[in-house]
Structure 1
Amino acid sequence: MKNDIEDLFEREKQNEPKMKVERKDGEPTAAFKGASWAALLIGASAYLIGLFNATMELNEKGYYFAILIFGLYSSVSLQKAVRDKQEGIPVTNIYYGISWLALLIAILLMGIGLYNAGSIVLSEKGFYGMAFVLSIFAAITVQKNIRDTQKVRGMD
């Protein structure tokens, strides 16, 4: 009896039309949004796990952690400033310039830190560099996806 009811329920469920969420023109696909979030989580997590397990001094770990946070914030801020300017939303030149400068400084500090790090082998330097770049790029992409989705759905 129980199997008959379950079979009936399953057949009924298969006949139901599935509700499809329509993607509006200009909205990123769910796959692209998911890939962007995954890249951000993988990049930042790999960087932080590598930093946690590193044998460097605590002040060095703090330096690399601060650079990651500074880089993520400055990249999102720059993306917003560029997008605002593109859409005709007023952005002061000083904020626009500081946004570019902050991201360039974060990248420069990462490069200088890795270049001067004597306690880190070359393969680890490459790992930190790639995880940093992946995280920065993914943060920009996630911010862009959020902005595109809000614009298309009228949430601005």
Structure 2
Amino acid sequence: MEPLNNPHEEQVLKTKHDEDGKNPFKPTSAFIGASWFALLTGTVGYCVGLWNADMALNEKGYYFTILLFGLFAVISVQKSVRDKAEGLPVTELYYGLSWFATIACMVLLTVGLWNADLALSEKGFYGMSFVLSVFSAIAVQKNTRDAKLFEDKNV
């Protein structure tokens, strides 16, 4: 069975995208602010938790490095996925490494927390603040790119 074509819906799609298929709309200030707030809340909360944790310095360094690695990895994935969607050249090696790094940091955090001598509430805190941080990093990167694309289109 064929889906019904709504001429109004087609017009809306045409107005939302230009001839290149790139979104010309600037992200709202509320979404930009919420994304930055979530990123700062997640990363600062994670770091404050590490600072106050009763664990060895090398353990704190491990969890901090995982956070930095995860933030970089998800931004790389977001950028390479977006580049591919917009027809910009992305090598398969970089694309694959970006996904590998993203999965690796999540596995490393999971294994580290699984084996850590921490209360279950602490493990949950680190897991949730990590997820909040990496998800909001993707949103901040998307907003930054959308705002730049909007500026380039409307100069």
TM-score category of the 2 structures, normalised to the smaller one: 0.7 to 0.9
The aligned counterpart of 1:68 is 67
For 2:72 and 2:91, locate their aligned partners in 1 and report how far apart those are by CA, in whole Å: 18
Equivalent residue, structure 1, for 2:43: 44
Deviations 1:128-155 (A, max 9, x none): 0000000000000000000000001108
**Who is 1:34 aligned against?**
33
How many pairs are equivalent?
A: 131
Kept in 1: contact 2:77–2:95 (CA 8 A): yes
For 1:49, the aligned partner's letter is: V
Say yes or no: does 1:101 pair with 2:100. yes
Matching residue of 2:111:
112
Q: Does the Cα contact within 8 Å between 2:24 and 2:149 map onto a contact in 1? A: no
Measured in 2, the distance between the counterparts of 1:143 and 1:41 equals 14
Per-residue deviation, residues 71-125 of structure 1 (Å, max 9, x unmatched): 000111110000000000000001000000000000000000000002x100000
The 2-side partners of 1:65 and 1:78 are apart by 20
**Normalising by the residue count of structure 1, what TM-score does the alignment of the two structures yield?**
0.82
Q: How far has the Cα of 1:27 moved from its partner?
A: 1.2
Is structure 2 residue 139 aligned with structure 1 residue 141? Answer: yes
SS of alignment partner, residue 153 of structure 1: helix
Encode CA deviations 1:26-63: one digit per residue, 9 max, x unaligned.
21100000000000000000000000000000010000
Residue type of the alignment partner of 2:41? I
Q: TM-score, normalised by structure 2?
A: 0.83
User: Where in structure 1 are there 5+ consecutive unaligned residues?
Assistant: 1-23
Counterpart for residue 76 of structure 2: 77
Provide the aligned C-alpha RMSD in A: 1.2
Percent sequence identity is 58
Verify the 8 A CA contact 2:45 2:129 in the aligned structure 1: yes
Query: What's 2:55 paired with?
Result: 56
Find the structure with the greater CA-based Rg. 1
Please identify runs of 4+ aligned residues in structure 1 that moved more than 2 A.
Answer: none
Partner amino acid for 2:139?
A: T
Letter in 1 for 2:147: T
